[in-house]
Amino acid sequence: MWGRPSDAGLLGWKEFDKAFMDRFTLRNVRAAKAKEFEASKQTLGMTVFEYDAQFTQLSRYAPYLVSSEEIRVNWFMVGLLEYLFRVVASQRFDSYSDAVDCARLIKGRSVEARALCESTERTKTEGQSSQRNTSQETTFARSSRPGRRDTIQNRGQVSTGSQGSRRNPQFSSPPHCGNFSAANNC
């Protein structure tokens, strides 16, 4: 095959791949792809599956950089997004596929968690929005009543039942700035 004697025997996959690359891929293209492999990283919009595919494809051009399974796993982990790297790098893997599976699982869980948080936030926002509309109506109704004091004036006071009201020193409002603070430093 491609310059080998016919009685040389069968080629293994690695030998075939190398012979194929040497024969049909230009040296400068291989060098450029090897550099691309060295710089490859998972981007924010990239799934672990997509990063794995890119990593596997480009690693063919730099077999000297991934000469063992352990080195291959390390290269893969270094290219992961930071939050995935932190979790995956703290573990030990027997194979590249184990590392990829772990990263996929973590990414899947983070996507589920993000969706749950967004759903919860959306529910809270919708609830606050309806409460806000109700409270705006209530505030308007209260402030439109004659003889009613504005609630902001009473904010720094604590009700003590039949004794009347007294100022809460922890949250008193200095007269010169109007800001509430525990220290009253304006």
Q: Could you read off the pLDDT of 15-61 as tens digits, one per residue?
A: 777 776 777 667 888 889 989 999 999 999 999 999 999 999 999 88
Q: Encoding tokens for residue 73? A: 């796993």
Alpha carbon 109 to its chain's center? 11
pTM of the model: 0.54
Task: Return mean pLDDT, the chain.
Answer: 74
Give me the pLDDT at residue 24, please: 64
- SS3 for 32? helix
Compare 135 and 100 and report the one with higher pLDDT.
Answer: 100
| Least confident among 25-29, 76-80, 81-85 | 25-29
Q: What is the mean pLDDT of residues 63-78?
A: 95
- Count Cβ atoms within 10 A of the Cβ of residue 186 and give its class: 0-12 exposed, 13-18 middle, 19 or more buried: exposed
Q: What is the pLDDT of residues 127-144, one digit of tens each?
A: 665 555 555 544 444 444
